[in-house]
Amino acid sequence: MKTLKIKCPAKINLNLKITGKRDDGFHNIESIMQTINLFDYLTISAENNFKNEIILTGNSNEIPYDEHNLVYKAAKLFLEITKVENQKISIYIEKNIPVAAGLAGGSTDAAGTIFGLNEIFNNPLSENQMHELCSKLGSDLNVCLKGGKILAKGRGEIIEPMPFEEFNLSLIKPLNLGISAKEAYTKYSVKKETQTNDSFENDLEWAVIEDYKELQHIKNKYPKSIMTGSGSTYFIIDDKFENEKDYWTSNNLKSINYGVCIA
């Protein structure tokens, strides 16, 4: 049996601008994204088996451990593309990144799965091929695979590395509020018909903030904070959030110049 532990960083969107609607139903974006030192960890094992089998376990009761999990889909796609056969793939997911938070927790775990399996099976895929697999699975995987400061375009899968800047940041998220990308983009489309965003760095924050008093509370108390992704997490640079009832906070984090990697 071969076993490897993979470190999977969260990302934040320093800004996010929607540039148009696509024929496939997604939106085109331009967003500067940055990986940070908040990590999920994957323990990936592979052993000989009478068929290909993928088994997921983990420490979170907020995610599925079956074919609906992006980690499962990533492992399945890797096995199909590389034609690896007769392997039992076991993946333990240690979740530290909040779920449905705009921090790419699911995406970074999926990117980490592709990276980790590629390492275990002696690198059958080039870096470019890994990026191709990532782009098939979701919008933020390529950013998490590469890491650092990235200009992301298209639906997020077209990436251009930018000069790295180290900075301190903090995160806050309402405990019982997760916002799906589908909800945020739908609300953006509706709101854009009658209004224009002229004050928010993140178009999706502009789209959803009027619907949630928890987000309004954060923005009113910390005017310099910015929502990341489709929310509901906010970050603030060179400052800290107070601990509050019904809010998850993580202070004293840093930007990092790498993506998924061996732990």
Residues 192-223: tens digit of each pLDDT: 999 999 999 999 999 999 999 999 999 999 99
Q: What per-residue string of b and e applies to 118-149 under the rule 16 or more CB within 10 Å gives b?
A: bebbeeebeeeebbebbbebbbbbbbbbbbbb
Query: What was the pLDDT predicted at 193?
Result: 92
Query: What was the pLDDT predicted at 139?
Result: 87
Task: Read off the amino acid at residue 72.
Answer: Y
Residues 227-242 have a mean pLDDT of: 96
Residues 114-122 have a mean pLDDT of: 98
Averaged pLDDT of the chain: 96
In the predicted structure, residue 23 carries a pLDDT above the cut 80: no
Query: What was the pLDDT predicted at 212?
Result: 97
**Is 140 a known active-site residue?**
yes
Active-site annotation holder among 40, 73, 95, 140: 140
Residue 118, CA distances (Å) to 7, 55, 122 in order = 14, 17, 6
Query: What was the pLDDT predicted at 98?
Result: 96
In the predicted structure, residue 178 carries a pLDDT above the cut 90: no
- Are the C-beta atoms of 177 and 212 separated by less than 8 Å? yes
Residues 232-239 have a mean pLDDT of: 97
Query: What was the pLDDT predicted at 155?
Result: 82
Could you give all domains of the chain from N- to C-terminal order, each with its CATH number? 2-162 (3.30.230.10), 168-254 (3.30.70.890)
Give residue for tokens 């967003």.
31
pLDDT in tens, 31-85: 999 999 999 999 999 999 999 999 999 999 999 999 999 999 999 999 999 999 9
Tell me which of 186 and 26 has the higher pLDDT.
Answer: 186
Task: Read off the amino acid at residue 174.
Answer: P
How far apart are the C-alpha atoms of 134 and 129, rounded to whole Å?
9
**Is 211 a known active-site residue?**
no
In the predicted structure, residue 26 carries a pLDDT above the cut 80: no
